[in-house]
Structure 1
Amino acid sequence: MQSDATLRQFVEITHLDVDQATQVLQSCNWDLETAVGLHLAGTEGDTDYGRGGRDTTTPSSGGGVGVSSPSGGAAGAGRPVPRAFGRGQEGGGGGGDDPEGDADGEGGDGQRRPLLRTDSVASTSSTSSLSRISSAVGLLGRAVLGVARTVAWVGSGILSFFSAVVLGPPGVPSESFDEFFEARYGRPRPDFFRGGLREALATARREEKVIFVYCHSDASAQTERFCRDVLKHDAVVALLNENFLVIGLDTSRLEGARTLSALRGRRCPFVALVMPPMGSSMEGSQTLHRLEGQIGVDQLVAVLTVAVGDMESLRHQVRVQSEETQRSRLLREEQDAEYLEALERDRQMQMARDNEEAERRAEEARKREAERERDRRRAEKEDKKRRLEESRAARSVEVRRILEEDDRRISSGESAAKILIRLPTGGRFERKFRADAPLSLLFDWIECRHLIEGGGGAWVAPGSFELKQTFPLRAFQKSESTLSELQLAPSSALLLHPLEAEDDAESEAAS
């Protein structure tokens, strides 16, 4: 039945229990749109639904405290009021249990009446006790009724969730709303977005468009006219398809009902222009315009035109912001590149300084090593010279003895050879040797001459040397050949050529 479908849709949208939903729909003659608007108005203002609504405690017309009846009147206007409401309160019967306090109390009709006194105190006490008991029972009943309504609301929510998730809600899903609209109303039509509202927000943000949200309800009497005369109008279709992202939502489905409630819509057809977050901003979307109920073509075209202008202004702001962001990014990149270049230059300079320092240290190390090598060679030379002097000193005694013996033999008439030695420094000295004396004696005499002949200024022979004859050109090394055999007798002039200096020069060149 149509009423069962309407009741099920109303329960899914409002989450009321079946009894409350039935009362509200009956009060609205089973008009779903009117019932939803009434429910939303009652939820926001916390007011009564009116006829057939929930019971609320309100002051009665007679001045007492009554409970509103289904017809809107006050039931029990003359009910005794508990003493907790205080003396002098307006109340039905006005009496109380104080025999002296309310002598001139007012009745339920507002007229002043004399206090009715009784002779029986027990009767007055019984009336007061019954009033207290009645009030307590009323409070307890209202508390139980509130708990029952809460349990019913939770149960209806669970039932609605189960039916929406497991069984699938009735109505047209947003993914196929374009097919539904074209099948029912034909073309031309807006190009409805195939997807949910969340996907539409993401797409609109990416394409920089305003979202045209249309909430559809077959229960509304205005829906047919709006779809055929307004949404299919050529001007409206051109504006929507060119400038907006259009999404259609059926309010009989959970997503449509929630969207209608979130956009504060009260009746269908309902239209809202929603601006998604733009640029780098992550703030929420913004609702620009809302239209509902009887919407005309001129009214909708005017709203859409204003929204297009707002969107162009927003796009300009977004482009300016994007350009500023791009400039800032490029500036940061340039600064970062300059910083990296400065770091690279500093690194290169530091490497150059490190290399120079390493070369300097290596050069100092080479110099120290060369100095140590020279010291070593100098020490070796000194040691060699010392050992040579010791050796010459030891030989000089024997050489002196041999030379003294040769002098005596030459004096006795043996043949002699007179040898002249020229020094590299230009000095000279000479001596007579026996003609049959070996050449080694001549070398020993030259080496030990400063020890044999003495004198602080005596010339000292180098460690190694050779003797050269200019004519004929010959060089002589230390040997046992006699002077006569070498044709140096009876006289010869020889040039002393040191060999130790050449050895030292070669060693220094090698180092």
Structure 2
Amino acid sequence: MVGLDQPHHSLAVKRAPSNKQKEYKRIIVESSDSENSSVEEVEASDGFTGEDDMFVDIVQSERLQPLMSEHVEDEALGCIEFAQRFKARYGPNTPNFFEGTLQDAIKEACLKPAKERKLLGLYLHHEQSVLSNVFCAQLLGCEAVLQTLSTNFIVYGWDLTHPDNNLMLLNSVSNALGTVASMTIRSIPVDRLPALVIIMRVRSNTEIYSVINGNVGVSELVGGLMEALERFATQRDEDARMERERDARQRVKREQDEAYQRSLEADRAKEEIKKQQELERNQELERAESERQMEEARKEAMRASAATRVPAEPSEDTRDVCRIRVRLPPPHNNCLERRFYPHDTIAALLDFLASKGYPQENYKVISSWPRRDLTTESHSSTLKALKLYPQETVMLEERCNKTMDAK
């Protein structure tokens, strides 16, 4: 359209007189052949005559401010500086670069649930590449490219011009993505920079999908982005399906675990109740046994005490004796017999019965005729006075309160 011979042309340039005021405009010169195509940007005056100077002070002044300081020490601060200077140099129609470390950018783009993921676009800049200005101003500034990047990408920018900064990025890539990804970036020649490295999450791996070099046109750049988007959408849907299935399995397993835990807790509660009941039962048995032993000890003490109070039994050849026969209460069918002296008191008989385990607090001594309760008589009354002489059969009856206590 400007009368240049294709595929080769020659341009002659020289510096204009310093006193001549010129207005410059940006011209895109594209040459193509059967193998590749390239886009080059120059500054030219109206008419683009041979006397115009394309290397003007405006271009030189633009390059005085590098996109990133030399010897960057903090990766996040270097990335923030790159984003600010890039926008200041190329204007508002530029990508919104992520401000943070590469690891943070990977987390934001790739390490989220599948339906929330995005592609990560790692933009690599180099000031010594002749393709930089055209790629940044024309390709990255294209509305279709900006819309695609804004909607589907997290864009991370870095300047590889200074060796220290280059090494810092390679180390970050190696730590985050592995040595293969670092070697891929290291192998990109300077004359093919800038480059847009597309990174995506494939199943459980985060890896480089493709590298779009700077020697492309807008259509090739958009095509590369759309191809990556199609592959990414397919993989994202597959990963989302797998996540749903995994979540469903985990939900079922979680519900089973919760049901098992509830059952286990219920069993533990039952076992605890059972142990508590068993403990209380054992404690009750121990308490009852202790009370029984104490009661036995008390009764034994009472029997021993009563036995010490029982007077000596008359011998067999003693004539004047009182023979007392005591019929025991059911279920006993036997009887107790003992000889007393006629002047022995009823207390002696009661102590004798108490020494045999039949204390008067639990048993009554009933005479057969006339029927009377001898335990209610004065304990100082003699057996003879109570008409138990020379012999008598009495009966032991269990008191009612004893029967009730036993029940």
| TM-score using structure 2 length | 0.51
In structure 2, C-alpha distance between the alignment counterparts of 1:304 and 1:213, rounded to whole Å: 13
Structure 1 pair 344–293 and aligned structure 2 pair: CA distance change class (3 A):
closer
User: Is 1:182 matched up with 2:87?
Assistant: yes
User: What is the DSSP-based 3-state SS (H/G/I as helix, E as strand, rest coil) of the residue aligned with 1:320?
Assistant: helix
1:235: how far off?
Answer: 0.8
Query: Out of 245, 263, 268, which is 2:192 matched to?
Result: 268
The residue aligned with 1:228 is: 137
Q: Name the amino acid aligned to 1:274.
A: I
Count residues in correspondence: 278
Task: Report SS of the residue matched to 1:247.
Answer: strand
**Whole-angstrom distance in 1 between the partners of 2:227 and 2:80:** 28
Compute the displacement of 1:319 (Å).
2.0
Q: Identify, as 1 or 2, the structure richer in helix.
A: 1
Pairing 1:95-134 to 2, within 5 Å after superposition: none
Contact 1:388 1:463 in 2 (8 A): no
Alignment of 1:185-264 (within 5 A): 185-205=90-110, 206=112, 208-254=117-163, 255-256=165-166, 262-263=184-185, 264=187
- Whether 1:299 aligns to 2:220 is yes
Tell me which protein shows more strand as a share of its residues: 2
Q: Which residue of 1 aligns with 2:32?
A: none
Identity across aligned pairs (percent)?
A: 21
* Whole-Å separation in 2 of the counterparts to 1:469 and 1:443: 21
Q: What is the DSSP-based 3-state SS (H/G/I as helix, E as strand, rest coil) of the residue aligned with 2:122? A: strand
Rounded Cα–Cα distance in structure 2 between residues aligned with 1:389 and 1:182: 123
Q: For the structure 1 residues 393 and 368, does the alpha-carbon distance in structure 2 shift closer, same or farther, using more than 3 Å as the test?
A: farther
Q: Which has the higher contact order (CA 8 A, sep 6+)?
A: 2
Query: CA, structure 1 residues 315+261, in 2 after alignment: closer, same or farther (shift >3 Å)?
Result: same
Moved more, 373-382 or 196-205: 373-382
Residues 135, 194 of structure 2: 8 Å contact kept: no
Matches within 5 A, 1:463-502: 477=378, 501=397
Cα separation, 2, equivalents of 1:478 and 1:198: 107
Alpha-carbon distance between aligned partners in 1 of 2:153 and 2:98, rounded to the nearest angstrom: 10
Instruction: Decide which structure has the larger Cα Rg and report it.
Output: 1
The one-letter code of the counterpart of 1:338 is A
Cα distance change on mapping 1:355 and 1:174 into 2, 3 Å? closer
- What's the CA shift for 1:246? 1.7
Q: What does residue range 59-458 of structure 1 map to in structure 2 within 5 Å? A: 165=71, 173-205=78-110, 206=112, 208-254=117-163, 255-256=165-166, 262-263=184-185, 264-266=187-189, 267-277=191-201, 281=204, 283=205, 285-358=206-279, 361=282, 365=286, 391=312, 393=314
Matched-pair contact (CA < 8 Å) for 2:132–2:194: no
Preserved CA contact (<8 Å) 1:468 1:476 = no
> Aligned to 2:192, what secondary structure does the other structure show?
coil
Partner of 2:197, secondary structure, is strand
TM-superposed deviation, 1:188: 1.8
Q: Deviations over 1:161-213 (max 9, x none)?
A: xx9549x89xx953233333333332322212223433322322246221222
The CA RMSD measured in Å over matched residues stands at 5.2
- Relative to structure 1, the CA distance from residue 269 to residue 242 in structure 2 (aligned partners, 3 Å threshold; closer, same or farther) is same
Say if 1:497 and 1:319 are closer, same or farther in 2 by CA, change over 3 A. farther
- Segments of 5+ residues of structure 2 without an aligned counterpart are 1-68, 171-181, 330-340, 350-362, 386-391
Deviations 1:105-147 (A, max 9, x none): xxxxxxxxxxxxxxxxxxxxxxxxxxxxxxxxxxxxxxxxxxx
Distance, in Å, in 1 between the alignment partners of 2:321 and 2:131 is 153
Q: Which whole-Å CA distance do the structure 2 matches of 1:388 and 1:501 have between them?
A: 23
Query: Displacement of 1:218 after TM fit?
Result: 3.2
Q: How far, CA to CA, are the matches of 2:344 and 2:366 in structure 1?
A: 9
CA change 1:374–1:398 in 2 (3 A) is: farther
Whether the 8 Å CA contact 1:226–1:269 is kept in 2: the answer is: no
Structure 1 gaps, min length 5: 1-162, 402-422, 426-439, 449-461, 487-495
Q: Deviations over 1:410-436 (max 9, x none)?
A: xxxxxxxxxxxxx9x9xxxxxxxxxxx
Name the CA shift for 1:244/1:444 in 2 (closer, same or farther; >3 Å): closer
Counterpart CA distance in 2 for 1:195 and 1:366 is 75
Supply the AA of the counterpart residue of 2:94.
Answer: R
Tell me which residue corresponds to 1:43. Answer: none
1:194 & 1:365 partners in 2: Cα distance?
76
With over 3 angstroms needed to count, the CA separation of the structure-2 counterparts of 1:332 and 1:387, relative to structure 1, is same
Alignment partners' CA distance in 1, 2:364 and 2:381: 19
Q: Secondary structure at the match of 1:265?
A: coil
